[in-house]
Amino acid sequence: MRKRPDIRTTDSLRQQSDAELLRACLEGEPAAWEGLIVRYQRLIYSIPIKMGLSSNDAADVFQSVCVKLLEGLSSLRDLEKISAWLTTTTKRECWRVASGRRREHVAFVLEGSGNPNESIHPADSSPLAHQQQEALEQQQILRAAVNALPEPCRNLITMLFYDESELSYAEIARRMNMPVNSMGPTRARCLSKLKKLLEGKL
**What are the residues binding other proteins (CB under 8 A)?**
23, 25-28, 30, 33-34, 37-38, 41-46, 49, 55, 58-59, 62-63, 66-67, 70-75, 77, 135-136, 138-140, 142-143, 161-162, 184-185, 187-188, 191-192, 194-195, 198, 202
**Region label for 22, one of left (φ > 0), alpha (ψ between -120 and 50) or beta (otherwise):** alpha
Shortest spacing between CB 156 and other proteins, in angstroms: 13
In whole angstroms, give the CA distance from residue 59 to residue 8.
27
Shortest spacing between CB 148 and other proteins, in angstroms: 14
Q: Which is nearer to other proteins, 110 or 135 (CB)?
A: 135
Cα 136-56-94 angle, rounded to 5 deg: 50
Q: Which is nearer to other proteins, 73 or 178 (CB)?
A: 73
In whole angstroms, give the CA distance from residue 44 to residue 59.
10
Q: Which is nearer to other proteins, 92 or 187 (CB)?
A: 187
Q: Which is nearer to other proteins, 17 or 115 (CB)?
A: 17
Shortest spacing between CB 66 and other proteins, in angstroms: 4
Residues 124, 101: contact at Cβ < 8 Å? no
Q: Which is nearer to other proteins, 89 or 140 (CB)?
A: 140
Distance of CA 183 to the CA centre of its chain: 29
Shortest spacing between CB 106 and other proteins, in angstroms: 27
In whole angstroms, give the CA distance from residue 105 to residue 92.
20
AA letter at 8: R
Shortest spacing between CB 127 and other proteins, in angstroms: 18
Residues 123, 102: contact at Cβ < 8 Å? yes
In whole angstroms, give the CA distance from residue 5 to residue 17.
11
Shortest spacing between CB 46 and other proteins, in angstroms: 4
Q: Which is nearer to other proteins, 45 or 95 (CB)?
A: 45
